[in-house]
Amino acid sequence: MAAAGVRGVLWQRAAARLWAVRAAAPVPLGARAASEMSKDLMPGPYPRTPEERAAAAKKYNMRVEDYEPYPDDGFGYGDYPKLPNKSLHERDPWYQWDQPDMRHNWGEPMHWDFDMYIRNRVDTSPTPVPWHTMRKHFLVFLGTMLIMFGLGEMYPSYRPVGPKQYPFNDLYLERGGDPNKEPPVVTHYEI
Amino acid sequence: MAAGPPPTAAEAYRPNRFVSLPAELDPDTYDVSPEKRRAEAERLAIRARLKRQYQLQLNNPNPPAIIEDPALVRWAYARTQNVYPTFRPTPKTSFLGALFAIGPIVFWIAVFKADRVSQLTTLNDSQREIVKCRSAWRLNWWDPVAPKSD
């Protein structure tokens, strides 16, 4: 029937599209074939004109004034927005996020290093003591300990010791001496 | 030269890329100008629009099988498939690429070579025989130090 014919045509067209995609780019097929998003909704190259910037800001659901792409150094960022490097620890824990564990709302642009800034990993929340103070205290302690251990290795100092003295005539029998023979007398002291 | 005014709390704190400035020390928190309010209002409008879209899909009596997050799809696409098309060989990227790709290989070649040379020059004849016959890289801790006598 017509429905079967349409379904057959659609199947062939889908197969043809998959073939074209496979020939075009050696990338995993599931990445784009599964989503229905068109190419202009996907990240693209660095925006050069103000119109491209406005379009990119709209695409990423951001204000045009807020949108700032990574500098065009050829590192592969494209037009992805440069968001502040703040971890998810700093986001309000009491707000009703759409995804509470990720503290992320649907459609909100994700940081490039989103998977680094999750709450199990890097935490950039403010510290009670400034970071440079903490670093200084830690390096002073570590440096002092290393220097002292190094000096101790170079100039060891311990109480005077002598060779170990064994009982029973220097352990004559335990060292396999003949029990029938008289062991040589050993004295470790002088009176 | 006078010392100048003492540093502000924000300057004394010195946020860097590991810690951010607390909101209490940030002068932006206390900025109530109309421009800032309009910016906040626009951001709120965008957020509300997105939340409405999401809630409509979520509370749909016939919900779709999966509510796809376009931000997540774009993030994954940007990190995997958009890197090669937007990459460009520049002096900086070429230098970094050489440093991280060729650098470790050259470094470890030098380390292993130096170690083997220093090992082999301090061996006596019997030990050198052991290493050569076994074509071992270096003498190991279980190899005898002195030649074994019968």
Q: Per-residue confidence of chain A (191 residues) as pLDDT tens digits? A: 444 444 555 555 555 555 554 544 444 444 555 567 888 899 999 999 999 999 999 999 999 999 999 999 999 999 999 999 999 999 999 999 999 999 999 999 999 999 999 999 999 999 999 999 999 999 999 999 999 999 999 999 889 888 888 888 888 888 877 888 888 888 888 88
Listed residue (A126, A114, A62) closest to A90, CA to CA? A126
Q: Among B87, B105, B131, where does a domain finish?
A: B87
Are A78 and B73 in contact (CB < 8 Å)? no
Q: Are A44 and B81 in contact (CB under 8 A)?
A: no
A126 to B22: CB separation less than 8 angstroms, yes or no:
yes
* Cα A70 to Cα B30: distance, rounded to the nearest angstrom: 29
Q: Answer whether B64 touches A (CB < 8 Å).
A: no
Of B21, B69, B88, the CB nearest to A74: B88
Confidence at residue A20, expressed as pLDDT on a 0 to 100 scale: 52
What was the pLDDT predicted at B147? 63
A175 conformational bin, left if phi > 0, alpha if psi -120 to 50, beta if neither: alpha
User: Does residue B64 sit in the same domain as residue B118?
Assistant: no
CA-nearest residue to B26 within chain A is A126
Are B94 and B70 in the same domain?
A: no
Between the two ends of chain A, the Cα-to-Cα distance in Å is 122
Task: Give A-chain residues touching B42 at CB under 8 angstroms.
Answer: 63
- Tell whether the model's pLDDT for residue B2 goes beyond 70: no
List chain B residues with CB under 8 Å of A74: 86-90, 92-93
- Tell me whether residue B4 is in a domain: no
Instruction: Tell whether B66 lies on the interface with A, counting CB pairs under 8 A.
Output: no
Chain A residues inside the 8 Å CB shell of B76: 31
In a domain? residue B96: yes
Could you tell me if A177 lies within 8 Å of chain B, comparing CB atoms? no
Domain shared by B82 and B134, yes or no: no
Using CA coordinates, name the residue in chain A closest to B24.
Answer: A126
> Which two structure tokens, joined as six digits, stand for A88?
């998810």
Q: Is A43 exposed, middle or buried (0-12, 13-18, 19+ CB in 10 A)?
A: buried
Q: Is residue B120 part of a domain?
A: yes
Same domain, residue pair B100 and B119: yes
CA atoms B135, B140, B142, B148: torsion sign: positive
Same domain, B73 and B94: no
Look at residue B6 and tell me if it is in a domain: no
Task: Report the C-alpha gap between A75 and A135 in whole angstroms.
Answer: 31
* One domain, residues B25 and B81: yes
Residue A10: per-residue pLDDT: 57
Residue type, A63: R
- The two structure tokens encoding residue B58: 């979520």
Is residue B1, in this structure, part of any structural domain at all? no
> Whole domain around residue B35: which residue ranges?
16-87
**pLDDT classification of B106: cutoffs 50, 70, 90:** very high
Q: Is residue B99 part of a domain?
A: yes
Are residues B79 and B114 located together in one domain of the fold?
no
| pLDDT attached to residue A29 | 44
Q: Which range has the top average pLDDT, A23-27, A132-136, B10-14, B137-141?
A: A132-136
Distance between CA B46 and CA A61 in Å, rounded?
Answer: 7
Total domain count, chain B: 2
What is the pLDDT, as a whole number, of residue B108? 96
Cα atoms in the 13 Å half-sphere on the side-chain side of A36: 3
Q: Are residues B25 and B76 in the same domain?
A: yes
- The more confidently predicted of residues B38 and A17 is B38
| Of B69, B87, B105, the domain-final residue | B87
**Nearest CA-CA distance, residue B51 and chain A, Å:** 7
Residues B66 and B34 in one domain: yes
Q: Is residue B150 part of a domain?
A: yes
Contacts of B18 in chain A (CB under 8 A): 124, 131
- B46 and B64 fall within a common domain: yes
> Which two structure tokens, joined as six digits, stand for B72?
């997540």
In DSSP terms, which residues pair with B87 in a beta bridge? A75
Task: Say if the Cβ atoms of B75 and A114 lie within 8 Å.
Answer: yes
Q: Residue B36 domain-assigned?
A: yes
Q: What is the pTM of this model?
A: 0.73
The yes/no answer to whether this complex scores an ipTM above 0.85 is no
User: Is the Cβ pair B71, A98 closer than 8 Å?
Assistant: no
Average pLDDT over residues B114-124: 83
> Is A73's Cβ below 8 Å from some Cβ in B?
yes
Would you call A125 and B88 a contact, using CB atoms and an 8 Å cutoff? no
Of A166-170, B65-69, B138-142, which gets the smallest average pLDDT?
Answer: B138-142
**Final residue of a domain: which of B87, B111, B126?**
B87
Q: Do residues B121 and B81 both lie within one domain? A: no
Task: Assess whether B74 and B137 both reside in one domain.
Answer: no
Lowest mean pLDDT among A181-185, B57-61, B69-73: A181-185
